[in-house]
Each structure stands twice: as structure tokens, then as C-alpha cells.
Amino acid sequence: MQATYWITLAMCLAPALCFAQKPRRCRSPPVYTGGMTVGTQNEKLWAFGMYAYDGINQRIHFGEMGTYDNKSFTYNALMLYNEEVLYEINHKDKTCVKKALKSDFHPMEVPKGADFVSQVVLGTSSGPGQGLLVNNWWGDMPDKSGNYMFSVTEFGCLPVSALVKTKNFGWMTVSYYNNILGADPNVFIPPPFCKDAKLEVGEKVDFFSIFQ
């Protein structure tokens, strides 16, 4: 009887102990696609679009449309970090701008210097399938220019949102949705009209500079 008591007690406590553990830093799936929205504190920039992420070959492709200073725009960018090249693509005019890209590719993951903030449920945990368990992390930007808050799902480590302090816009918010594992490899290949594009001479750009 005493043995049964302790076994039963251990079974009851195990789930509570598991959920009480502090979430660990994680890395998102190596390849996936999804939608995203971007907004800024000073209300100068608002955009939405689609993106494709390939952490294995260090490639990111996204296309978006939105407004900047009350003027509408469309933007399509292909970042090939292994080649240190960024393509700004205009499918309508069939033009392509080729720029030098900084090679410091950062995988989609919770950064090493991030501190765990909280674990929350988006929606509700009162019913099955009605909520999403999310972990929130906080840290400093690599260049010490500001702070960020990054939210990922507890299961799968998929991005949910990011809040980043920028020099030109103040706080920038990014929301991710409709993530699908895998990606069409063709989205990472520059279109034929980019073949003759010449590399622009100038300072190398990075992921955040394309929003500025």
C-alpha cells in the first residue's frame, strides 16, 4: 500500500514538475514558409507579406507590400548569405538590383544572450485546441543598438512575434502566422532577368538595414 501511494504521488507530480521547468532556448525548424506583418512605433512603416526561410543553406526570401510615409510600396528581396548577395527584385518591371550582403547569418532561434521572461497561452487553455503555448524572451541587439522581445511556440519553436528597438522607427513589431514546414526551392533562385545585374559598390547591407 505504501509503495502504491508513492507511485501514485509521483505520477501526479510529474506533469507539474515538467511544466514548472524553465523553458530552454530553441531553434526553429530548418526550412519553412509563412506570412508576416511589420509595423513601427512612429507609424511611418506598415507592411505585410510572405517569407521563406532556409536555415540549412542560409537563404531568406520575402515579398511584401505596405506604406511608408503614407506612400504605398512593394518590395521583394532575396538574401543569399553564403554568396553574400542581396537581390532587390521587381517582377513587374523585370529589374533587379544586386547588393553586397553581410555574411553574419543568424538562424531563427532564441539568441544565446536572451533571458526568459514568461510563458503564456494565446487564446485559452480551458478547452482542447483552443490555445497556443508561447515562450517570451528578452535581450540586447548584437550591436547594442537596442533591445528585443522574441516570442516562439513552446512546441516546435516557431516564431510568433518580435519586438525590436530600431534607430529610425523606434519600436518595430513583427508578427508571424500561417507557418508551413518546408519551402519551394525555386523561391531561393534569382529570376532570369537578375543574371546580368551588377553588384553595386557601397557599404554592405544586413537584414535590418533593408527596412530603413
- pLDDT tens figures, 14-41: 444 344 578 999 999 999 999 999 998 8
Question: Residues 83, 189: contact at Cβ < 8 Å?
Answer: no
CATH numbers and ranges of domains, the chain: 31-211 (2.50.20.30)
As a whole number, mean pLDDT of residues 175-200 equals 95
- Tell me the three cell numbers of residue 2: 505504501
Instruction: Please state whether the predicted TM-score (pTM) of the whole model is above 0.85.
Output: no
> pLDDT digit string (tens) for 143-164?
666 789 999 999 999 999 999 8
92-126 confidence digits (pLDDT tens): 899 999 999 987 888 999 988 899 999 999 999 99
**Which has more pLDDT, 4 or 135?**
135
Q: What tens digit of pLDDT does each residue of 37-96 get?
A: 999 888 888 999 999 999 999 999 999 999 988 899 899 999 999 999 999 999 989 999
Going by C-alpha positions, the residue among 83, 38, 88 that lies closest to residue 61 is 88
CB environment 101-120: b (16+ within 10 A), e (fewer): beeebeebbbeeebeeeeee
In sequence order, which ranges of 21-62 are alpha helices (DSSP H)? none
CA distance 98 to 112: 32
